[in-house]
Amino acid sequence: MLDATTALDGTPYVLPDGARSALAFETVALRSAEIADKARNIRTRIAADADDLLAPLLKAQRSDLVAESNQIEGYDVTREHVLQAVATHRELVDGDIHTLIQAIRADPKIVNALGLYKAQQLADDWAHKGERVLAYEMRQLHGLITVDERFGGKYRTHDVAIGGTSFRPPAHYDVAHSMDTFAAWWQGSTGDPVLDATVAHAWLTHIHPYEDGNGRLARLLANFVLAQAHYPPLIVRAGQDRGEYYAALAASDDGNVLPLYQLFARIIRRTVRAMGSPNYTQDYLEDRLLASVDDQRSAWSALVSVFTTAFTRDLRHLGWHTDSQGVPTRASFKFLCDRNPDGNGWFLVVRNQFDDRRYLLWFGFASDTLCDLFGGKPPGYPSIFISERDMSPDAVHPYVWTPALHGLPDEIFLKPLEASPVTLRSGIHTERLDIERAAKSVAAGLVARG
């Protein structure tokens, strides 16, 4: 069992004091150990059952990773865009780096797709050879990611601030030393690849060694660690994980890496569960994974969008605001319909009149109570829950869910094709409402609670 008191030795990170954080760390470490066996078994099974499909699968997964990593940073790059760019420029991808760089610079349209793809491919090759990435090799990878920028592969030469936070990265003259310290730690291991990936990602973004591209490089390095341990890729979904991801990174900048560790373990477990489904490889390659639930998810997502618009409008009239965090992907939607917590994700962050991020609305699976009220069967769609900001010094997560928050429903359930599509559950009591009345009720309850 991973020792929480020594696992983070040599890093800038410590666990928050208190039994809550110690228990949370132990829980994530146990889950991570379970993931390790499942990930290796699934990879072995896929390789044995479909050897001719393994290379195309890895290419598709890498393209997915590249697209989502770009989208996290606000670049409009889709998986299909990456796959098309790789197919069109196959000889460049398979050729030497210098030729690729010259071609990318001549065609800015493929920079974000091919630069990160080649960097990820190179890192994967190094990982499978059992090699570690040194500080100068990280600069090479960064140069590929930001190939069209003057600062590509070069440490920043001025101090920077991170927008939206009070955190200040190390001074520019300390960057080289900080990177050498980070790279030296990386030659060892905590014994848990998910924790190693978490620390590598958090530390790189904490140093913020480059003017731009730090996030994309950090996610690449995290995947390098996981690839060495034969894990599936860590794909942070821009449309589902972004809000929780940035909140976890902010916590890591304050020295608490636990929220990011929890998030990465859940994302990896989500991928492992999806890969364990029958016909996963063929379905993934043909982009039809979970296609049977597309219509169901589409109708539900449209209803969520209408609720979001009404809810945001009603809060704005009361002087409050929302920050949208996204909706579940197809895979996560299916997990939640099957009442699997690996599909959980942030929905809306609610800010009060003082601009404090007071509440979080998040997607989870329908509760046992709701299932009982629906005749003992899963209702077939996700639910929405409300968590409150946790201000305690040993907080493990920025928001904590507590049943029966005064004046607020325990659960919000949206079901398409109903005259009153919203069910608000409080204990064993339910109220069926139309979208407008439901949104107004929840908004008024939040504001009244303060």
pLDDT tens per residue across span 17-37: 777 888 888 889 888 888 888
| Higher per-residue pLDDT: 103 or 235 | 235
How far apart (Å, rounded) are the C-alpha atoms in residues 60 and 84? Answer: 11
Coil vs helix vs strand at 240: coil
pLDDT at residue number 289: 43
pLDDT at residue number 160: 85
pLDDT tens per residue across span 347-361: 999 998 888 888 999
How far apart (Å, rounded) are the C-alpha atoms in residues 6 and 171? Answer: 28
Q: Please name the residue that has the structure tokens 């050729």.
A: 95
Q: Band the pLDDT of 406: cuts 50, 70, 90.
A: confident
Coil vs helix vs strand at 231: coil
| Higher per-residue pLDDT: 418 or 316 | 316
How far apart (Å, rounded) are the C-alpha atoms in residues 307 and 318? Answer: 17
pLDDT tens per residue across span 121-167: 888 888 877 777 788 888 888 888 887 778 888 999 999 887 666 77
188: left (phi over 0), alpha (psi -120 to 50) or beta: beta
* Maximum Cα interatomic distance, the chain, rounded to a whole number of Å: 66
Q: Six-digit token pair at 284?
A: 């993934």
**Which residues lie below 8 Å from residue 27, measured CB to CB, with a gap of 6+?**
none
What is the domain partition of the chain in residue ranges?
A: 19-157+167-284, 291-449
The predicted model gives 294-309 an average pLDDT of 88
pLDDT at residue number 291: 45
Average model confidence (pLDDT) for the chain? Answer: 84
Please check the confidence at residue 440 and state whether its pLDDT lies above 90: yes
Greatest mean pLDDT among 81-85, 116-120, 334-338 lies in: 334-338
Please check the confidence at residue 6 and state whether its pLDDT lies above 50: yes
pLDDT tens per residue across span 378-388: 888 999 999 99
| Percent of residues, the chain, with pLDDT higher than 70 | 89
Among the listed residues 342, 340, 310, 304, the one whose alpha carbon sits nearest the alpha carbon of residue 325: 304
Q: Using an 8 Å Cβ cutoff, are 443 and 311 in contact?
A: yes
> Full-prediction pTM beyond 0.95?
no
Local structure of residue 319 (DSSP, 8 states):
T
| Higher per-residue pLDDT: 360 or 374 | 360
pLDDT at residue number 441: 94
| Higher per-residue pLDDT: 352 or 55 | 352
Q: Six-digit token pair at 437?
A: 């009345």
pLDDT at residue number 236: 92
Q: Six-digit token pair at 174?
A: 């300390």
Please check the confidence at residue 52 and state whether its pLDDT lies above 70: no
Question: CATH for 19-157+167-284, among 2.50.20.10, 3.40.630.40, 1.20.150.20, 1.10.3290.10?
Answer: 1.10.3290.10
Q: What are the DSSP calls for 254-299, one per residue?
A: TT--HHHHHHHHHHHHHHHHHHTSTTHHHHHHTT-TTGGGHHHHHH
pLDDT tens per residue across span 157-213: 999 887 666 778 899 999 999 999 998 898 887 889 999 999 999 999 999 999 999
